[in-house]
Chain A
Amino acid sequence: MRSFTYERANSPAEAAAAAARQQGAKFIAGGTNLLDLMKLEIETPAHLIDVNRLGLDKIEPTADGGLRVGALVRNTDLAADERVRRDYGVLSRALLAGASGQLRNKATTAGNLLQRTRCPYFYDTNQPCNKRQPGSGCSAIGGLSRQHAVIGASEACIATHPSDMAVAMRALDATVETIRPDGAARSIPIADFHRLPGNTPEVETSLAPGELITAVTLPKPVGGKQIYRKVRDRASYAFALVAVAAIVQRDGSGRVALGGVAHKPWRVEAAEAELPRGAKAVTAKLFADAKPTHENAFKLLLAERTLGAVLAEARG
């Protein structure tokens, strides 16, 4: 049997050090994705480090008026937090658009950022998949690709990142805080946290080996109308075909990040200058280099129309 060892860390620093020390170690928090992947032997950690009891489950104000969300704050608690609902509505709405009540009760902030793609070929160990087995090929290219990326993909991988929460955090310019095995802390802007697939789709974030997320910091509230619009075939419990996280100010300026279209939350700051000119102008810039498949080309029109509806809602 594929056995693994387990330890409960006593502090974030100790957890990170243990992860660097042990070959094939992984952190486990809510386990809503990792345990599924272990059952399918897609993830085969030799050692699990439980980070659930490290005191990382608090939401606290920061000195500059923002909010520091502990890595272990459950999605349900984060969505329901009064400060989040008041000042970061797009985040609360994104969280509630994701998964199910039961999953949100278990899923954590850091785990949500680190969840893996839902590409069906990634989940079928008989099929080539560069993300699961580097160098084996990408089955989604030329295969079932309706859900897949339309931009930022590569010859090696066209998977999307499935998170809703991360899309809202990208719009909010959040920062991912970590601790490294040597005990040093690091802050990673969310824009730099998730990576495009390139030739190494198995590397999904900029975390170094053993590096543990301790919190996600939200900057001072920016106000504006905050909308999260997730589009899907099924009314609930489905991943986004396209999702739009938008923060629109009274003067028509704002920020827009999209989910369901790329290997990471998709935001192009330069496109936001076009917001006063409407959705078509914004999406033209957002998707200037799009390379959809014939199955998912509709996402470009869908993104434009969804953003149009979001901007209309923001105006109204």
Chain B
Amino acid sequence: MKFETPATTNPIDQLKIIGKPADRIDGPFKTTGTAPYAYERHDNIANPACGYVVGSAIAKGRIASMDLTAAKTASGVLAIVTADNAGKLAKGNLNFATLLGGPEIEHYHQAIALVVAETFEQARAAAQLVRVDYVRTDGVYDLAAVKDSGKPARITGGPADTAVGDFAGAFAAAPVQLDATYTTPDHAHAMMEPHASMAAWDGDKLIVWTSNQMIDWSVGELAKTLGMPKDKVRLISPFIGGGFGGKLFVRADALLAALGARAAGRPVKVALTRPMMFNNTVHRPATIQRIRIGATRDGKITAIGHEGWSGNLPGGKPEAAVQATRLLYAGANRMTATRLAVLDLPEGNAMRAPGEAPGMMALEIAMDEMAEKLGLDPIEFRILNDTQVDPEKPERAYSHRPLIACMGLGANRFDWSKRNPQPGQVRAGRWLVGIGMAAAFRNNPVMKSAARVRLDNRGVVVVETDMTDIGTGTYTIIAQTAAEMMGLPLDKIIVRLGDSAFPVSAGSGGQWGANSSTSGVYAACVKLREAVAQKLGFNSTEADFADGQVRSGNRSVPLAQAAGESGIVAEDVMEFGDLGKKYQQSTFGAHFVEVGVDAATAEIRVRRMLAVCAAGRILNPKSARSQVIGAMTMGAGAALMEELAVDKRAGFFVNHDLAGYEVPVHADIPHQDVIFLDETDPMSSPMKAKGVGELGICGVGAAIANAIYNATGVRVRDYPITLDKLLARLPEVA
């Protein structure tokens, strides 16, 4: 099915099951420990050998020699894989650093060997016996120091440089100007489940149970890396303990499990240990961002410019921090520029809302600063500069853009009118109290997605697609989609995900998963409805699927009976036409935050949070809310504590465990409110839904930063906003 014209009324609009807060189907499995994760697939492989990854002890240079003698003879050791003995390996298209390094070393903790033994403990102990002599070479690890060496780099969906009108002239002429520089540090995905894989060979066929967001991409990448035909590789990933972009691609665990299994001649499982994850895999790259805004005295933006610098390994991509600025606010004269420097730190890559998350952390502070210069309420300033068209291409309208409604509803719900615009004025006991807001904005990409549905003679529909559920609720919304389409209750739907033997889906990334994958299921169900109607001799456009029956005129047949002994199978793929090009499709929101800053110690604690989101039809308000509160939590982490600390001498992230890399704990997160606008976007898909999982993080950090400013009068432009950045500028303790 091809989605080329705006959606009209369809069975989803019945909203009997779609739009209801159904509990997650996988919830009981996860809470009872019966959802099997990749590392524990002993239901398939009774006794796998265990692999332990040896990571490079240097950031850049080469291995002069590697002595495996002691490790090989250690108890229980079955095989040791290194670049020397692994055979020829190609590099995938989606990773920049080599997954098995040596002799060249590209980054710290790059995998250089896998020790395979009977038990994990044996493999770990033997790994310590691998003797490596390195020749270090100097690397570049300090973004600020080398930012000016950055080269223009294309961003997702755009060129390195954009220019509309005369930015320089308009900015210079603007009576009110802001020119400020902001920084965001490197961030870790720090998901709960580490990267893990279990691999088994059957002749020339490879099967890998793994933890991966994008099954089809990763089958291709693994096949390419191993020099195998794609159809000989099968990936299975039904349950994933979080990914946030860190599991979009094949990582060392999957490749080394495959190589280890080949070398040992038996199935092997490999998990990255927690301290290995931070430098071995990928992270959200640090940014330096300069934002210039010029406006008239009454608050109309006349010039807006955003420059972003980031660094990556050679061949890597930039962090597209300027992306949102191209679209979010009006202004006749505009520019963005993206520069990428070469750094020898671990590979930077996508993390939840790449580009927009760090970009909005800066842009939405800048908007707050500009509103203050203008003497305008921050919401009023944003309303004044709202646009209903793509400001770079005014002929291109937004499909639907209720940003003002989000801000208005949020302001009302949060008692924004009680905010004292004068910072540093509100005190509650030991706390300086402030409130702040920021717009939320994230584009709504769509991706081709296929599914297969099978109706059996029990009246049960089985849905199969290689779509993944990374903790987002995919199982549930897919079941809701099939149930709505087929007129069945939820318990008559079985959803099978994350297997490359199933039709190729959109996968989980870029917040496209929910809308795209359910659209694929919609397409398959349309075909199934046609097949059922045809079998019964019904006119498919008139057939009504409800209550487990299919009706046409006076005739009603149970679906189970219609399926017959052999059942009916249908498969289709949803493809998207150019509505996304004709119309700018994005998701919108507004974040409101109240913080307390300890008047003595400058400790910052969030007291209240609210997000108002406009993201098309909300397929399941319960799982969508979970997505948004999780994103708000992640945004609070980015605002207040998350930072991969770079050792600029040795070239690695020093705080590489969960004691050092702090993410919020329960005590950091207060009550969170989420409101979804009741809306649909027929330009988006037949589901009329959009992504929401990344919208929730965009802008949170700035809302917190703005609240801290309101509480203290101290403006911090370098994340994370920790107490040491406020302390010296707070009033004396009484």
Contacts and interface: CB of A to CB of B under 8 A. Distances in A.
Interface of A: 1-2, 39-41, 118, 120-121, 123-124, 126-127, 139, 142-144, 146, 229, 231-239, 241, 279, 298, 301-302, 305-306, 308-309, 312
B224 interface: no
B668 A235 contact: yes
18 contacts: A1-B74, A1-B76, A1-B125, A41-B125, A118-B659, A120-B657, A123-B657, A124-B275, A126-B58, A139-B647, A232-B603, A233-B720, A235-B605, A236-B667, A236-B668, A238-B662, A309-B599, A309-B600
A80 B665 CA distance: 23
Interface string B704-734: 0000000000000000101110011010011
B385 interface: no
A139 B650 contact: yes
Contacts of B660: 118, 120
B155 interface: no
A234 B664 contact: yes
The 6 closest A-B pairs by CB, nearest first: A309-B600, A126-B57, A235-B667, A298-B724, A236-B667, A308-B733
Contact of A298 (B128, B600, B728, B733): B728
Contacts of A120: 654-657, 660
B122 interface: yes
A233 B660 CA distance: 12
B128 A41 contact: yes
Contacts of B342: none
B659 A233 contact: no
Contacts of B602: 302, 305
A312 B733 contact: yes
A143 B723 contact: no
B122 A309 contact: no
B601 A302 contact: yes
A309 B430 contact: yes
Contacts of A298: 723-724, 727-728
Interface string B245-285: 00000000000000000000000000000010000000000
Interface in B75-125: 75-76, 119, 121-122, 124-125
A2 B733 CA distance: 54
A234 B657 contact: no
B17 interface: no
B122 to A, nearest CB: 5
A305 B647 contact: no
- How many chain B residues sit at the interface, stated as a range, is 35 or more
Contacts of A121: 654
A284 B657 CA distance: 35
A253 to B, nearest CB: 21
Contacts of A118: 659-660
Contacts of A235: 605, 665, 667-668
Interface centre among A1, A236, A298 (most CB of B within 10 A): A1
A143 B654 contact: yes
B641 interface: yes
Contacts of B657: 120, 123
B729 to A, nearest CB: 11
A40 to B, nearest CB: 8
Interface string B641-669: 10001010110001111011010111110
Nearest to B726: A298
B101 to A, nearest CB: 14
B461 to A, nearest CB: 43
Nearest to A41: B128
A231 B647 contact: no
Given A126-B58, A309-B733, 19 more contacts: A1-B76, A40-B275, A118-B659, A118-B660, A120-B656, A120-B657, A124-B656, A143-B647, A143-B654, A144-B655, A229-B601, A231-B723, A234-B662, A234-B667, A235-B605, A236-B666, A301-B727, A302-B601, A309-B599
Contacts of B119: 1
A297 to B, nearest CB: 9
B722 A233 contact: yes
B665 A236 contact: yes
A308 B598 CA distance: 13
Interface string B591-605: 000000011111101
A111 B185 CA distance: 36
A41 B52 CA distance: 14
A124 B605 CA distance: 31
B640 interface: yes
Nearest to B118: A1
B74 A309 contact: no
Contacts of B121: 1
B654 A144 contact: yes
Contacts of B654: 120-121, 124, 143-144
A232 B119 CA distance: 39
A302 B723 CA distance: 9
Contacts of A124: 275, 654, 656
A244 B128 CA distance: 41
A305 B727 CA distance: 9
Contacts of B57: 126
Nearest to B600: A309
B601 A306 contact: yes
Contacts of B275: 40, 123-124
Interface in B557-602: 598-602
A241 B641 CA distance: 13
A70 to B, nearest CB: 28
Given A232-B603, A302-B724, A309-B733, A144 B645 contact: yes
A241 B733 CA distance: 19
A124 B653 CA distance: 11
Contacts of A142: 649
Contacts of B603: 231-233
Most chain A beta-carbon contacts within 10 A, residue among B75, B598, B728, B733: B733
A301 B728 contact: yes
Nearest to A304: B733
A298 B733 CA distance: 16
Contacts of B645: 144, 146
Contacts of A146: 645, 724
